[in-house]
């Protein structure tokens, strides 16, 4: 592989955001240098070796539909697959995998090394080379590294994760580092502050890892994977898991809580040594028992780290208490009386940059060609980081080749919701995606991510013709199946014996199959048992059979809701189409509230729709802007 003295894009950091950013920009045609402090931990799952979950699984499927690699890598390294929330409506169904930690990282590195435009360098970036153009704009010109090297480039994507000025905490002990065994990164924060950026501190944590041979699984509750597992990727490159490992569940108790409380006086969180804000929705175990003091028990998930290791992840027991307190409390968990800790839990405090300083492309407003993606923007989670990296990589390349920015709307993708939330609202605590954050979540289901996004990826050049052909086949099969359901009838004699035991009323005359499907007690599988011709038809769909039948069933059952939500989204699009110029004189519009003038001037929304979503902007403020715009 030839070494290039100048690159189109330099990606700083090789976590989930950095990997997706490098792959996207490279696959679109940019020459990319991926710089990481340690080549041995590319795509390291530094916390739980799992992908997806509520809201997050939808993001992984969207990344895959857009031509990213997170779904493919997750499928290849899966040790367990579960579709969460199946008892709820399809807008809530969320795929999740438990993964083999080492295989996940190995697969990601292999995928990157297969990209001829991706180059690698093990080094530390200590600063960014910038210069002012004749028009007064500050632009990226390169990066400076820890060994004194200056590398020229046209764009930089910072995906530093938890490493900027990072401090690790275990009880009263503090260490410089962004992850166990890895040092912190210094220099970038200080330089960006001098350039005018605002910064803050956030905190995250991780639980202890335990030797699985020391756990008594016989008294734990087993949590198996799905009997018929699905997968993340829409590509035929991967397949569903043929075998799976079980996860397990145990619970804390009052004895565990009492032991943990003995360490509170040495807790960095309670003593004030940690200043950064931690994740609200993934609190440490000490935070849980402090905030929910009336609760006698909390659920703990015991999760394997891979096929060929006994190392076990204790999900729900994140802590930064002294190691001896962690050990004593763990051994009071049911099944953990003889537990041996491989490595203790710890907290990490690190710098982030409030994301209101970014455009929707994830380019910074202050420096042209500089992009932020991942935890540097105040998010938490592999999935949130990966999708930001993908969008930053796409836009870094697009700007260099003078193509239109790639921005997803809130009714197009959870990715669009996440980035819009960050840019318009900002965040003062680690941002995590939930389905409840999306106002159009029945449009943004995990099953139709390819329908929504693969055509966009094909236009960009990230989804090849095979992907589009597969989508076209799926669409054609969906039409055939919908037509069959709308035209074929069943009689009471043949139907009632099958449907009444399912808890639904008997029919008294012939009805179309699609009418029966509207009944909540019946599924598509029930209809197949009534119609041999329907069963024959679906078998012609081959590997697409499950996807097609699931999507047609959802579309028919929820057609009214989907139509209503689509109409609502279309109405809101009208606000999105009203542009706001960057030089709007908000401070002179005295009819606006003082808060509105301050926030609009700071965030500089590009459309009226974005302005309406900024915290503190009232409907009255929007009316003032409409009058000003002559609307």
Question: What's the pLDDT tens digit per position in 527-577?
Answer: 988 898 999 999 999 999 999 999 999 999 999 999 998 988 887 777 777
Q: Which domain holds residue 556?
A: 465-564
Q: From CA 591, how far away is CA 395, in angstroms rounded? A: 37
Q: Do residues 494 and 606 both lie within one domain? A: no
Report the Cα 541 to chain-centroid distance in Å: 31
User: What are the b/e assignments for 52-87, b being 16+ CB within 10 Å?
Assistant: bbbbbbbbbbbbbbbbbbbbbbbbbbbbbbbbbbee
Question: What's the pLDDT tens digit per position in 452-488?
Answer: 999 999 999 999 999 999 999 999 999 999 999 999 9
Of 346, 372, 388, the domain-final residue: 346
Side-chain-side CA neighbours of 202 within 13 Å: the count stands at 27
**What is the mean pLDDT of the segment spanning 398-416?**
96
Q: Do residues 259 and 308 both lie within one domain? A: yes
Instruction: Name which residue leads in pLDDT, 2 or 582.
Output: 582
Q: From CA 396, how far away is CA 156, in angstroms rounded? A: 8
Q: Is residue 296 in some structural domain?
A: yes
Three-state DSSP state, 543 = helix
Q: Do residues 327 and 218 both lie within one domain? A: yes
Of 346, 372, 387, the domain-final residue: 346
Contacts of 604 (CB under 8 A, 6+ apart): 365, 580, 582, 584
- Identify whether the C-beta of residue 18 lies closer than 8 Å to the C-beta of residue 41: no
Q: Do residues 552 and 599 both lie within one domain? A: no
Residue of 38, 7, 5 whose CA lies nearest to 21: 7
Q: Do residues 286 and 340 both lie within one domain? A: yes
Q: Do residues 544 and 602 both lie within one domain? A: no
Q: What is the CATH number of the domain that holds 616?
A: 1.10.150.570
Three-state DSSP state, 14 = coil
Angle of helix 449-460 relative to helix 56-65, nearest 10 degrees, comes to 40
Cα 350 to Cα 144, 174, 494, 623, distances in angstroms: 21, 13, 65, 40
Q: What is the dihedral of CA 169, 175, 181, 187, to 10 degrees?
A: 110
Q: Do residues 216 and 342 both lie within one domain? A: yes
Q: Do residues 335 and 219 both lie within one domain? A: yes
Q: Do residues 517 and 589 both lie within one domain? A: no
Q: Is residue 125 in some structural domain?
A: no
Contacts of 162 (CB under 8 A, 6+ apart): 46, 178, 179, 204, 348, 350, 375
Q: Do residues 507 and 622 both lie within one domain? A: no
Cα 282 to Cα 44, 286, 432, distances in angstroms: 20, 12, 9
Two tokens, residue 471: 């989508």
Beta bridge partners of 129: 142
- How confident is the model at residue 330, as a pLDDT? 97
- Does position 27 have pLDDT exceeding 60, yes or no? yes
Q: Do residues 246 and 339 both lie within one domain? A: yes
- How confident is the model at residue 631, as a pLDDT? 54
Q: Do residues 500 and 559 both lie within one domain? A: yes
Q: Is residue 200 in some structural domain?
A: no
Instruction: Give 603's pLDDT tier (boundaries 50, 70, 90).
Output: confident
- How many domains does the chain contain in total? 3
Question: What's the pLDDT tens digit per position in 117-156?
Answer: 999 999 999 999 999 887 778 999 999 999 989 999 999 9
Q: What is the CATH number of the domain that holds 546?
A: 1.10.10.1800
- Does position 311 have pLDDT exceeding 90, yes or no? yes
């Amino acid at each position: 592989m030839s070494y290039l003295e100048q690159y189109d894009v330099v990606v700083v950091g090789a976590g989930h955001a950095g990997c997706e950013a490098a792959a996207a920009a490279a696959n679109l045609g940019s020459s990319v240098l991926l710089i990481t402090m340690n080549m041995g931990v590319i795509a390291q799952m530094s916390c739980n070796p799992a992908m997806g979950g509520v809201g997050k699984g939808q993001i992984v499927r969207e990344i895959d539909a857009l031509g990213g690699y997170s779904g493919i890598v997750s499928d290849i390294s899966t040790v367990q697959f579960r579709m969460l929330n199946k008892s709820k409506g399809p807008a809530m169904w969320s795929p999740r995998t438990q993964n083999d930690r080492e295989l996940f990282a190995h697969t990601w590195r292999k995928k990157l090394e297969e990209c001829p435009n991706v180059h690698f360098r093990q080094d530390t970036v200590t600063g960014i080379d910038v210069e002012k153009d004749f028009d007064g704009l500050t632009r990226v010109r390169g990066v400076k590294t820890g060994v004194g090297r200056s590398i020229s480039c046209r764009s930089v994507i910072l995906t530093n994760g938890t490493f900027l000025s990072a401090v690790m905490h275990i009880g009263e002990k503090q260490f410089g580092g962004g992850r166990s065994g890895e040092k912190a990164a210094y220099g970038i924060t200080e330089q960006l502050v001098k350039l005018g950026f605002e910064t803050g501190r956030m905190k995250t944590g991780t639980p202890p890892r335990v030797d699985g041979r020391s756990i008594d699984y016989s008294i734990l509750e087993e949590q198996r994977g799905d009997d018929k597992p699905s997968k993340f990727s829409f590509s035929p490159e991967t397949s569903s898991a043929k075998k799976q490992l079980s996860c397990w569940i145990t619970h804390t108790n009052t004895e565990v809580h009492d032991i943990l409380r003995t360490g509170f006086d040495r807790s960095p969180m309670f003593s004030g040594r940690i200043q950064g804000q931690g994740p609200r929705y993934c609190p440490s175990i000490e935070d849980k028992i402090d905030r929910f003091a009336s609760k006698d028990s909390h659920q703990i998930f015991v999760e394997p780290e891979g096929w060929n290791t006994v190392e076990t992840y204790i999900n729900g027991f994140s802590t930064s208490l002294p190691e001896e307190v962690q050990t004593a409390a763990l051994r009071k968990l049911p099944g953990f009386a003889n537990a041996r800790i491989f490595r203790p839990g710890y907290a990490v405090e690190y710098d982030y940059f409030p994301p209101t300083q970014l455009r929707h492309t994830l380019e910074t407003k202050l420096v042209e060609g500089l992009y932020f993606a991942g935890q540097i923007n105040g998010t938490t989670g592999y999935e949130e980081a990966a999708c930001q990296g993908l969008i930053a990589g796409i836009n870094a390349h697009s700007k260099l080749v003078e193509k239109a920015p790639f921005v997803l709307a809130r009714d197009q993708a959870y990715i669009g919701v996440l980035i819009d939330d960050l840019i318009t609202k900002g965040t003062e605590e680690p941002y995590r995606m939930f389905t409840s954050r999306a106002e159009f979540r029945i449009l943004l289901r995990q099953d139709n991510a390819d329908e929504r996004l693969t055509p966009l990826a094909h236009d960009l050049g990230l989804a090849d013709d095979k992907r589009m052909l597969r989508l076209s086949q799926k669409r054609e099969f969906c039409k055939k199946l919908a037509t069959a359901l709308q035209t074929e009838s069943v009689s009471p004699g043949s139907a009632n014996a099958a449907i009444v035991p399912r808890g639904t009323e008997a029919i008294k005359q012939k009805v179309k199959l699609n009418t029966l499907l509207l009944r909540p007690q019946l599924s598509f599988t029930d209809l197949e048992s009534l119609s041999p011709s329907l069963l024959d038809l679906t078998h012609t769909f081959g590997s697409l059979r499950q996807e097609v039948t699931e999507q047609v069933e959802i579309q028919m059952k929820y057609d009214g809701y989907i139509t209503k939500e689509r109409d609502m989204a279309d109405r809101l699009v009208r606000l999105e189409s009203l542009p706001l110029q960057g030089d709007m004189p908000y401070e002179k519009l005295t009819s606006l509230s003082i808060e509105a003038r301050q926030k609009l001037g700071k965030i500089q929304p590009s459309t009226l729709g974005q302005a309406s979503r900024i915290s503190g902007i009232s409907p009255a403020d929007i009316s003032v802007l409409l009058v000003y715009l002559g609307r």
